[in-house]
Amino acid sequence: MAHVTLQQALQTALAHHQAGRLDAAERLYRHILAQQPRQPEALHLLGIIAQQTGRHAMAVDLIRQAIAVQPQAPEAYSNLGNALKDLGQLDAASAAFRQALALRPDNPEVYSNLGNVLRDQGQLDAALVACRQAIALDPALPEAHNNLGNALKDLGQLDAASAAFRRAIALKPRYPAAHSNLGGALKDQGRLDEAIAAYRQAIALDPDYAEAHSNLGGALKDQGQLDAAIAAYRQALARKSTPAHGTGPANGAPHNPAPANELDAAPRQRLDLAPNLAAAHSNLLLTLNYHPATTPESLLQEARRWAQEYAAPLHAHIRPPANDRHPDRRLRIGYVSPDLREHVATRFLLPLLRHHDHQQFAIFAYANVAAPDGMTQRLRAHTDAWRNIVGLTDAAAAELIRGDAIDILMDLSGHSAQHRLRLFAHRPAPVQATWLGYPGTTGLETMDYRFTDVFLDPPAVPETYCTEQLVRLPRTVSCYGPSLPGPALTAPPALATGHITFGCLNNPCKVSEPTLALWVRILQALPQARLLMFAHAGAHRQRVQQRLAQAGLDSQRVRFVGYGGPRYLEFYRDIDIVLDPFPYTGSTTTCDALWMGVPVVTLTGATIVSRLSMALLTNVGRTGWIAHSPDQYCAHAVALAADLPHLVELRRTLRTELEQSPLMDAPGFARDMEAAYRQIWQTWCAAAPGPGA
């Protein structure tokens, strides 16, 4: 092929590429390479097409071939970084971006993309520096402002994050990712109405934006609009594409006569959506637990569907374990969690870690925590080894766990936010179990056990509602560690106010319509009583007030409080009796109420989430507050309200009852967990093939 013909072919291929005719462009690039296998521009541009169509490994190979021929091409290193990022090879991606900057230090897109990678690695301060450098070089680059906002959000700087997202939108109004990210910052601030509007704007700009549909579902769930939330999650699962969030434009090849960012016009046919869709599907599962119409059968069916779609394809990566099969040796226990930080889950994990027998068990933590905090350090102090898996692909994290020769790998999050269940589909440990973070089945074939107790999963309830084998601890599956130092106990507020104040400090999305209906009945039965609730300003508060007005009750009888932060427990000083929501009852909040001397009335039901408070109250010996029907729930609440001397006595004694119960026997709980670990390990040893088999 003559040189001029080669250039003409490149120009024609590039025109197809820029117009989005990727198949035609790819055929021409391959034709050129058949004639001249080391033609760097064709290699590079073919690599970009591979990247745009989700073939990231091929993209890396092609772009590296181009670099081998033309090693001084900053655009190639930049695009190599993008491909490596999408493969989950974050260290290599960071190195590629830095090489691009070494060759061309004034490229704002590369600084922006580097900031994105650093954020994924959990290096948030470095990410801020990179994004701000991008903005210094080009204040009008919307992707840099968007990426800066993401890093600020991860650091908890929500006002600054919102400002960065708004700046990105001002520069590029038709920017779906920035609108969705703004929604996330607003949601974290409790500004749910505004968050929902932002998510809807993102969807209006890109109806196929799966993540925006999923985020919308989360905000609707938090507002208590469960049917709308479920519909939004199902819309997310029906989507087949999503925008390239925060990534700068693809860079053109050297000597490309077209502007570098014109290639951004080519449609990015993202084929690697499994993590995003898996998260949306998990959010759907979590939300179904809140819905009054949900049955154990429907939860199992949805969990199985999740596992079949997102976990089963990874079973090809399973390898036979090489663990020493001695049944009585020191075991290596691994805990996998995104919540090893200030989070309600750590209130139950820390007591266990503090009391592990390190002579019998080596404790490893696999932390998917982007922004560690003081609680992270407290947890870490009680482990033998701490591994940061932020930014690691599931395959890479599985290799790390295999390298540590973990015997029992414990999932602490289930289908809650930022989980790593797909890591368990690789089966990096011979025995795998789930505990703590999610009250239900994961659906995974590779999750061998689910830890529970005889109250959450009574022996009479069929085990066919979960894919795991149940490990029923003898007393409790929860060991409570209160926030210390806690507020001092005070007298019931009714002594000063002259009326009973009922309260609920649970997440307001748990306050279902049937819950509200019963609360209205109680307020009607006690005309002087008041209700105190935790709820963000906006739709949630309006829903409750409208429900009271419809029943002919003064809306002023309900008082709302917002996020209390460290002072949250002090809200219980203003509550005489806690009314538990249903079907998703309290857990941490129930323990907190008991710690503050406040009785809890709960209604138990058919799903695991409807038995959470029942299990806790049973362990404290307060079964008289457990209702088995709506009428009984109302009767318990009215009876407690009528006995003020009893409420005074409870304020004095409940904390001690909690402290002396199994719920705060941390050493005993650790022994129960460890006995269970030893038993399931010995079961595996007995079933496993012998050496050399």
Q: Which CATH number is 434's domain given?
A: 3.40.50.11380
Assess if residue 218 is contained within a domain: no
Query: 23-32, 481-490, 515-524: which range is least confident on average?
Result: 481-490
Answer for the pair 27, 50: CB distance below 8 angstroms, yes or no: no
Assess if residue 299 is contained within a domain: no
Q: Provide the token pair at 517.
A: 């209906």
The residue among 142, 171, 205 that closes a domain is 205
The residue among 205, 238, 271 that closes a domain is 205
Are 503 and 369 contained in the same domain?
Answer: no
Assess if residue 277 is contained within a domain: no
Q: How buried is 454 (Cβ within 10 angstroms: 0-12 exposed, 13-18 middle, 19+ buried)?
A: middle
Q: What is the pLDDT of residue 245?
A: 47
Are 575 and 524 contained in the same domain?
Answer: yes
Q: Which residue has the tokens 């109680």?
A: 522
Are 498 and 431 contained in the same domain?
Answer: no
Q: Give the Å distances, CA to CA, from 415 to 479, 552, 610.
A: 21, 40, 17
Answer for the pair 268, 243: CB distance below 8 angstroms, yes or no: yes
SS3 385: strand
What does residue 394 show for φ and ψ, rounded to 5 degrees? -60, -40
Answer for the pair 198, 179: CB distance below 8 angstroms, yes or no: yes
Are 465 and 508 contained in the same domain?
Answer: no
What does residue 452 show for φ and ψ, rounded to 5 degrees? -150, -165
Q: Which residue has the tokens 């009796």?
A: 577
CB atoms within 10 A of CB 24: 15
Dist. CA 479–CA 659, nearest whole Å: 11
268-313 pLDDT, tens per residue? Answer: 333 345 677 899 999 999 999 999 999 999 999 999 999 999 999 9
322-356 pLDDT, tens per residue? Answer: 999 999 999 999 999 999 999 999 999 999 999 99
Judged against a pLDDT cut of 60, whether residue 251 lies above it is answered with no
Answer for the pair 99, 115: CB distance below 8 angstroms, yes or no: no
Q: Which residue has the tokens 């009583």?
A: 529
Assess if residue 467 is contained within a domain: yes
Q: Provide the token pair at 487.
A: 């507020």
Q: What is the pLDDT of residue 23?
A: 96
Dist. CA 127–CA 129, nearest whole Å: 5
Are 366 and 470 contained in the same domain?
Answer: yes
Are 424 and 498 contained in the same domain?
Answer: no
| Total number of domains constituting the chain | 3
Higher pLDDT, 264 or 159: 159
Q: The CATH number of the domain where 68 resides is what?
A: 1.25.40.10
Are 500 and 632 contained in the same domain?
Answer: yes
Are 507 and 430 contained in the same domain?
Answer: no
Judged against a pLDDT cut of 80, whether residue 246 lies above it is answered with no
Judged against a pLDDT cut of 70, whether residue 179 lies above it is answered with yes
Which domain, by its residues, includes 170?
3-205
Q: Tell me, rounded to whole angstroms, the distance of Cα 154 from its chain centroid.
A: 13
Answer for the pair 188, 155: CB distance below 8 angstroms, yes or no: no
The 3-class SS string of 201-222 reads HHHHHCCCEHHHHHHHHHHHHH
Report the pLDDT averaged over residues 49-68: 95
Q: How buried is 513 (Cβ within 10 angstroms: 0-12 exposed, 13-18 middle, 19+ buried)?
A: exposed
Report the pLDDT averaged over residues 76-96: 95
Report the pLDDT averaged over residues 577-594: 97
374-409 pLDDT, tens per residue? Answer: 999 999 999 999 999 998 999 999 999 999 999 999
Give 472's contacts (C-beta < 8 A, 6+ positions apart). Answer: 452, 453, 454, 457, 459
Alpha-helical regions (H) of 531-574: 539-550
Q: What is the pLDDT of residue 693?
A: 35
Q: Provide the token pair at 683.
A: 């079961």
* Mean pLDDT of the chain, nearest integer: 92
Judged against a pLDDT cut of 80, whether residue 242 lies above it is answered with no
Q: Tell me, rounded to whole angstroms, the distance of Cα 291 from its chain centroid.
A: 20
CA torsion angle 163 165 166 169 (round to 10): 160
428-437 pLDDT, tens per residue? Answer: 999 999 999 9
Assess if residue 557 is contained within a domain: yes
- Please state whether 585 falls in left (phi above 0), alpha (psi between -120 and 50) or beta: beta
Closest CA to 396 of 414, 379, 412, 420: 420
Strand partners, 433: 410, 449
243-281 b/e with 16+ CB inside 10 Å = b? Answer: bbbbbbbbbbbeebeeebebbbebebebeebeebbbbbb
Assess if residue 550 is contained within a domain: yes
Closest CA to 590 of 521, 676, 519, 661: 661
The residue among 152, 187, 205 that closes a domain is 205
Report the pLDDT averaged over residues 67-77: 96
Assess if residue 542 is contained within a domain: yes
Higher pLDDT, 361 or 267: 361
591-609 b/e with 16+ CB inside 10 Å = b? Answer: bbbbbbbbbbbbbbbebbb
Q: What is the pLDDT of residue 244?
A: 44
Q: Provide the token pair at 530.
A: 């008041």
Are 463 and 513 contained in the same domain?
Answer: no
Are 500 and 452 contained in the same domain?
Answer: no
Judged against a pLDDT cut of 90, whether residue 250 lies above it is answered with no
Q: The CATH number of the domain where 612 resides is what?
A: 3.40.50.2000
Q: What is the pLDDT of residue 688?
A: 61
Answer for the pair 111, 135: CB distance below 8 angstroms, yes or no: no
Are 608 and 652 contained in the same domain?
Answer: yes
Peptide bond into 485 cis (omega under 30): yes
CB atoms within 10 A of CB 327: 12
272 residue type, one letter: D
Between strands 385-388 and 530-534, the pairing is unpaired
Closest CA to 180 of 228, 242, 119, 226: 242
Judged against a pLDDT cut of 90, whether residue 607 lies above it is answered with yes
Query: 113-122, 269-278, 309-318, 511-520: which range is least confident on average?
Result: 269-278
Q: What is the pLDDT of residue 240?
A: 57
Judged against a pLDDT cut of 60, whether residue 252 lies above it is answered with no
Assess if residue 603 is contained within a domain: yes
Q: What is the pLDDT of residue 88?
A: 87
Q: Provide the token pair at 549.
A: 């007005």
What does residue 501 show for φ and ψ, rounded to 5 degrees? -115, 110
Report the pLDDT averaged over residues 184-198: 95
Dist. CA 487–CA 567, nearest whole Å: 9
Are 423 and 466 contained in the same domain?
Answer: yes
Closest CA to 151 of 176, 184, 189, 175: 184
